[in-house]
Structure 1
Amino acid sequence: MARKRALITGITGQDGSYLAEFLLDQGYEVIGMIRRSSTVNFERIRHIQDRITLTPGDLLDEVSLIHMLREHRPAEVYNLAAQSFVQTSFSQPVFTGEVTALGVTRLLDAIRIVDPEIRFYQASSSEMFGKVVEVPQRETTPFYPRSPYGVAKVYGHWITVNYRESYGMHASSGILFNHESPRRGLEFVTRKISHGVARIALGLDTELRLGNLDAQRDWGFAGDYVRAMWLMLQQDQPGDYVVATGQTHSVRRFCELAFGYAGLDYQKHVVVDERFFRPAEVDLLVGDPSRAYEQLGWKPEVSFEQLVEMMVEADIRLLRG
């Protein structure tokens, strides 16, 4: 029997690397789309690179996407590629829109042209809720994005719904709340904290400069969340799902735990720096994952405390070399 084939855009990112591992374990043949650029970083997938096929493609170029789909004929496509850093979206709003919003349309349209039977997953985001109108946020909560990134994700989300309803495509969106891991980029606050703790613990630094310590997020482990993506594409009917833990913690609490694991007091090392505040802040994001629990049979396995410890330990190991 032929192995099922899946294509992942953004395979070199945190989620892409965990999803590729998961799909390989399920017996899939995994194709990863990479842009033709000199800055592609294979660090997160190096350990599985000999087991996956990498192919050139670009969300800015629909023709390249059509060629890619025709060549590889995947049964499932997971769109994880995006300009995904919120802070950057304020300084590069047009580029963020091109990739994170219109890129979704180009990919959906390429699928419609090549093979509308391909099952499609769109990485939506809790940042779409932004200035929240209800707590916790669920699939029916109105969106009120507070960044160009959040706005672009709302477009990507609705164009996925539109293609599903207009062309009968099996297109689903996962509205993922913050999901972290030792593979998170250093520009994200959780990894900035775990890496900063490791540097201070090893005597390489004395302080860590952060923005709003009172911002609260629903943080889970990325390795748990990619399982939900796959489960969505195994359902008979496509749909949209909030993927979250349902619990919220402040940046301050993350600091307290992270420094605590290294035997340090965060108050002696963390400096609040106005430069790291966003132009429009999102204060409280917490998801209601009931639908994912009930319909997908999904639940997170790694707790918040385990996640923080895992990230600090990994960064201490990394810096010790």
Structure 2
Amino acid sequence: MKTALITGVTGQDGAYLAELLLEKGYQVVGTYRRTSTLDLWRLRHLGIKSKLILESMDVEDLGCQVRLLKKYMPDEVYNFAAQSFVGVSFEQPLLTSTITGLGVTNLLEAIRITKPDTRFYQASTAEMFGKTKTTRQNEETAFYPCSPYGVAKLYGHWMTVNYRESYGLFACSGIMFNHESPLRGIEFVTRKITDAVAQIKLGKSDKLVLGNLDAKRDWGYAKEYVEAMWLMLQQDVPQDFVLSTGRTNSVQDLVHFAFQAAGLGPWKDYVETDPKFVRPVDIGVLVGDSTKAKQVLGWQPRTDFKQLVSMMVEADIRRHSQHEKTMLTI
């Protein structure tokens, strides 16, 4: 039985990956950052909480990481621990740099010290490309991050490359374009939209306020992206891969499909814009070229954008309906 350690297991990607690895027969150790309240709703939703070994760990604490690695001696480590909200990174740049950037170095160093044959996956991001001038971004595209989050992620990405080249670690990064699901956090614009649409559908709200409707992203389904992450650590040679759909949609497209999925009238009847939701520096268009992942890993996304949005809207309608039923029985 292989053992995998997943940092940030309570997040969207961590939960889906844990589910996948458990299905493959792994022993899965999931770490979380200790807070006053522990949010395990994704693990409960997938029905995997009781199957995991949960440990608290702070990526800023190298000693803690070394002790956990010695305790479980994992074959694979997947790092999702990060301050992952782009907007928040402008408000908390130092915290973002420490957790999202330096935290990666701590993990790599803990592996180098404790078990250098452990295979390491780093969750990199398309935000590292930022204001790139290229039409499509692949593994050879130059980086130009334009948020503290993107800069911190780029540091972690290059440290992963450095430990691979300097110490021979099997360390690689998945440069992931936006990937969403019903497990996405409400802080992200995709879930903000689908949750608001669900509430409007059920008569609990009558308005949705957004920022830049013209921003375009390459949006895929998170559950499919974790399959590629696992495949990356099964290769003979560690390599970095862009994971994307190769197609873009605007926030306005997302809004249109969400209202359509809920069977509501014209979205313009419910949507307002507010400049306070626009980032200090916003990326116009990012679209990935995942040709390498298709050729080497045999991976490609299967769920189109409209299906993804409908899936999320339906899940949020169920959530709010079930919550209402629960409240009525109390």
Work out whether the TM-score is over 0.5: yes
Q: What corresponds to 1:248 in structure 2?
A: 248
CA contact (8 A) 1:56 1:68 kept: no
2:30 matched to 1:32? Answer: yes
Q: What corresponds to 2:328 in structure 1?
A: none
Q: What corresponds to 1:15 in structure 2?
A: 13
Q: What corresponds to 2:278 in structure 1?
A: 277
Task: Describe the SS at the equivalent of 1:242.
Answer: strand
Q: What corresponds to 2:127 in structure 1?
A: 127
> Where does structure 1 lack aligned partners over 5 or more consecutive residues?
none
Q: What corresponds to 1:49 in structure 2?
A: 49
Task: Describe the SS at the equivalent of 2:48.
Answer: helix
CA contact (8 A) 2:122 2:171 kept: yes
Q: What corresponds to 1:260 in structure 2?
A: 260
CA contact (8 A) 1:8 1:78 kept: yes
Shift of 1:132: 1.7
Task: Describe the SS at the equivalent of 1:96.
Answer: helix
Q: What corresponds to 2:187 in structure 1?
A: 187
Q: 4+ residue runs of structure 1 moved beyond 3 angstroms?
A: none
> Where does structure 2 lack aligned partners over 5 or more consecutive residues?
323-330
AA in 2 matched with 1:188: F
CA contact (8 A) 1:173 1:239 kept: yes
AA in 2 matched with 1:310: M
- Summarize the alignment of residues 171-320 of structure 1 with structure 2, pairs less than 5 Å apart: 171-264=171-264, 265-320=266-321
Task: Describe the SS at the equivalent of 1:95.
Answer: helix
Instruction: Please provide the CA RMSD for this pair.
Output: 0.7
2:138 matched to 1:143? Answer: no
Shift of 1:254: 0.5
How far, CA to CA, are the matches of 2:34 and 2:283 in structure 1?
34
Shift of 1:7: 0.3
Task: Describe the SS at the equivalent of 1:99.
Answer: helix
AA in 2 matched with 1:253: D
Shift of 1:305: 1.1
CA contact (8 A) 1:132 1:284 kept: no
Shift of 1:302: 1.3
Shift of 1:37: 2.1
Task: Describe the SS at the equivalent of 1:78.
Answer: strand
How far, CA to CA, are the matches of 1:66 and 1:184 in structure 2?
30
How far, CA to CA, are the matches of 2:295 and 2:6 in structure 1?
26
How far, CA to CA, are the matches of 2:145 and 2:127 in structure 1?
6
How far, CA to CA, are the matches of 1:229 and 1:29 in structure 2?
17
Question: What are the Cα deviations for residues 82-110 of structure 1, in whole angstroms up to 9, with x where unaligned?
Answer: 00000000000000000000000000000
How far, CA to CA, are the matches of 2:261 and 2:40 in structure 1?
30
Count matched residues: 319
Task: Describe the SS at the equivalent of 1:104.
Answer: helix
Structure 2 length as normaliser, TM-score?
0.96
CA contact (8 A) 2:8 2:33 kept: no
Task: Describe the SS at the equivalent of 2:13.
Answer: helix
- Summarize the alignment of residues 98-109 of structure 1 with structure 2, pairs less than 5 Å apart: 98-109=98-109
Task: Describe the SS at the equivalent of 1:139.
Answer: coil
CA contact (8 A) 1:33 1:57 kept: yes
Shift of 1:39: 2.8
CA contact (8 A) 1:242 1:292 kept: yes
* Higher mean displacement: 174-183 or 132-141: 132-141
CA contact (8 A) 2:58 2:64 kept: yes
Task: Describe the SS at the equivalent of 2:120.
Answer: strand
How far, CA to CA, are the matches of 1:186 and 1:135 in structure 2?
30
CA contact (8 A) 1:133 1:142 kept: no
Shift of 1:35: 2.0
How far, CA to CA, are the matches of 1:262 and 1:58 in structure 2?
40
Task: Describe the SS at the equivalent of 1:31.
Answer: strand
Task: Describe the SS at the equivalent of 1:246.
Answer: coil
Task: Describe the SS at the equivalent of 1:318.
Answer: helix
Structure 1 length as normaliser, TM-score?
0.98
AA in 2 matched with 1:285: L
Task: Describe the SS at the equivalent of 2:272.
Answer: strand
